[in-house]
A and B are shown apart, each in its own frame.
Chain A
Amino acid sequence: MAEIVATAGELRVTRTREWRKMWFRFRQSNLSLLGFGIIAAVILAAVFAPQLAPYPHHAGIFVDFDHALKAPSAYNWLGTDDAGRDILSRMLFGARISLILGLMVLIIAVAVGVPLGVVAGYWGGRAGDLIMRVTDVFLAVPPIALALAVTAALRPTLTNAMVAIAFAWWPWYTRLVYGQVLSLKEQQFVEASRGLGASRWRIAFREILPNAWSPIIVKVTLDMGFVILTSSGLSFLGLGAQPPTPEWGTMIAEGRDYLPGAWWAATFPGLAIFLTVLGFNLLGDGLRDVFDVEIEQWRAGN
């Protein structure tokens, strides 16, 4: 046997090295690292909000008009709002809401959009056409407008905002996966598994779909930012989270009446949205760079 095969130990080293290599590629861009740092901070803030917040009880129903609209100080680092609540504490709890909402929306969007995209791409035919035309109709309407319409029709609550955004978001995943599946289904390994007797379902979901995960992961990361932006927008318009929920959009809506005098009440929640969206975008771009190289290498390997 002319070919040399490594031992199990060497294989483990190779795998570890692969991960290191991906991390190395990710680190090449300072912006990716910045994104990673911001998102890590936001996640930590969300997880440890009760411990980090100087006044955790300010996140709920709490009124202290004696300290309303105080400027940033040693007691309230980012100032207080019109009800005397600590803005920093509320922002930390707001991170929880935004992250959970973003995750839920994208879980629904992926759970609905991805299987539809696989079915439309792999089966095609009438059913596929129908799925893609419905998708096109959804894509023709801006998601914020669609979500507005849905929340307006339902009662304005955080849960309904989530449902509304998910309702507007799944078609993007159907489109993405549809395109991926169309090109992947021409790959020889698909025909090879047909030649070995694999069923269509198995080929679509077990052979093709796993090859499409990296663009989906990149898109989910990028979309986290946009979903948070959209949900904050809905809340700002009063169609999402309702006061006194410490949602960032709601906080801006409450604080905007006191601009420009008590600028901190609206500015800091706005900064939180800005940083989180920026962070997810940078992180997503970084992941895309890593995955793209992986794909290029695989193609070059053949």
Chain B
Amino acid sequence: MAGRQLTDQPGSRERGNAGTRCQEPLLSVEDLVIHFHLYEGLARVINGVSLTIRRGESVALVGETGCGKSITAKAILGLLPPNAEIVSGRIVFAGRDLRRLPEEALQKIRGRKMAMIFQDPGTALNPVFTVGDQLMDVASWQGASRAPLVRRHNGELRRRCLDMLRLVRIPDPESTFRRYPIELSGGMRQRVLIALALLGEPDLLIADELGTALDVSIQDQILEELRELVRTQGLSVLYITHNLGVARLVSDRIYVMYGGEIAEVAPTAAMFSRQLHPYSQGLLAAIPRLSGSIGEGIEGRIPDYIDPPPACRFAPRCPFRMAICDQQRPLLAASEPGRLAACHLYPASTRR
């Protein structure tokens, strides 16, 4: 199916026991349904999202603000707010169903097996500690952590942190080590956040709007560096982004999300040559071109999650709306070899 050319990334073999089961996805989210309990009523935000990430694969989850991408990522990490409820579905990571694990076990997985890189480098670092303190702290609790106080002053630990700063291409790590976050530029802070995420040697990185808060040239630089790192370390990455340009730069496969559902899945190159789902088409048309023409964008707004459209959630904004779109929910099905779409324009999506 989709992205099959990527299952045999050389990097995936180097990591642990990956060699024996590199066909098995590292992460698979199956038919995830999440509701939010709000004052206004029950918000059916995530409505049956499925996605898979193979070892060594970079996947981008793309959609406009409010489509549920960050909620999906937080559900994977087990960091949903208290008023969110996972109604059904499975989140299987390295063969374990995360929903069945107790909080302590999840906490051990976070940072060590999967780590999140946060979007705003300005606020994701603790302002009152130096970069070195924060790195050493994370390194000490992620290590064997039997005697964290002893390990904190361990020279080996310090060396590891400095190596990590070097790995994310921070010039003069020794000096950066002793600085407070406020003394660093946005790009440097973002690099420190990446270093923090990499310290636990995770298998899966989740990058939430990476670099969105930075200026475009630094953003490109950092994305490029991260892509290189991911390649050499054989990591799997889930990029959460609203920016298709970013997705094109970093991902092997793209999931387009709309209104808490997956609209379309395709390998990155295929997605950019032709989009199946009308929403993906609109999303691409909305990218400003270098020629100066501004794309048309998509009419309307994201759906109301408390009272969503009855069948296809995109129908009210869709230029190809048909009668069936208001009657039957389109299935995410293989409309063409190697790609999935959830749209009644393609017979595979219509239940018979």
Interface residues of A (CB under 8 A from B): 1-3, 5-8, 11, 14, 187-189, 191-199, 202, 206-207, 210-211, 213, 298, 301-302
Of B126-134, B229-237, B307-315, which stretch is located at the interface? B126-134
Q: Mostly helix, strand, loop or mixed at chain A's interface?
A: helix
Chain B positions within 8 Å of A188 at CB level: 118, 120, 123-124
Which of A5, A14, A206 lies in contact with B172, CB distance below 8 A? A5
Chain B positions within 8 Å of A298 at CB level: 127, 182
17 extra A-B contacts, CB within 8 A, seeds A189-B123, A195-B79:
A5-B170, A5-B188, A11-B178, A11-B179, A192-B116, A195-B197, A195-B206, A196-B138, A197-B109, A197-B112, A197-B115, A197-B200, A198-B138, A199-B107, A199-B141, A202-B141, A210-B128
Q: Is B62 an interface residue (CB 8 A)?
A: no
Measured between alpha carbons, how far is A7 from B176 in the docked complex, in Å? 9
Select from chain A the residue with minimum beta-carbon distance to B206: A195
Chain A positions within 8 Å of B118 at CB level: 188, 191-192, 195
Select from chain B the residue with minimum beta-carbon distance to A206: B137
Check if A11 sits within 8 Å of B142, measured CB to CB: no
Identify which of residues 138-186 in chain B touch chain A, using a CB-to-CB cut-off of 8 Å.
138, 141-142, 169-172, 174-176, 178-179, 182-183, 185
Interface residues of B (CB under 8 A from A): 77, 79, 107-112, 115-116, 118, 120, 122-129, 137-138, 141-142, 169-172, 174-176, 178-179, 182-183, 185, 187-188, 193, 196-197, 199-200, 206, 217-218, 221
Chain A positions within 8 Å of B171 at CB level: 1, 3, 5
Select from chain A the residue with minimum beta-carbon distance to B138: A196
Check if B175 sits within 8 Å of A194, measured CB to CB: no
Measured between alpha carbons, how far is A213 from B141 in the docked complex, in Å? 23
Which of A5, A195, A197, A211 lies in contact with B141, CB distance below 8 A? A197
Which of A5, A198, A211 lies in contact with B175, CB distance below 8 A? A5
B171 to chain A, nearest CB (A): 5
Check if A8 sits within 8 Å of B174, measured CB to CB: yes
- Contacts A191-B79, A298-B127, A302-B123 given; indicate if A196 touches B200 (C-beta within 8 A): yes
- 15 sampled A-B residue pairs with Cβ under 8 A: A8-B175, A14-B183, A187-B123, A189-B123, A192-B196, A195-B79, A196-B110, A196-B196, A196-B200, A197-B112, A198-B111, A207-B126, A211-B126, A301-B122, A302-B123
Measured between alpha carbons, how far is A142 from B319 in the docked complex, in Å? 69
Check if B137 sits within 8 Å of A197, measured CB to CB: no
Measured between alpha carbons, how far is A192 from B181 in the docked complex, in Å? 14
Chain A positions within 8 Å of B179 at CB level: 11
Select from chain A the residue with minimum beta-carbon distance to B78: A194
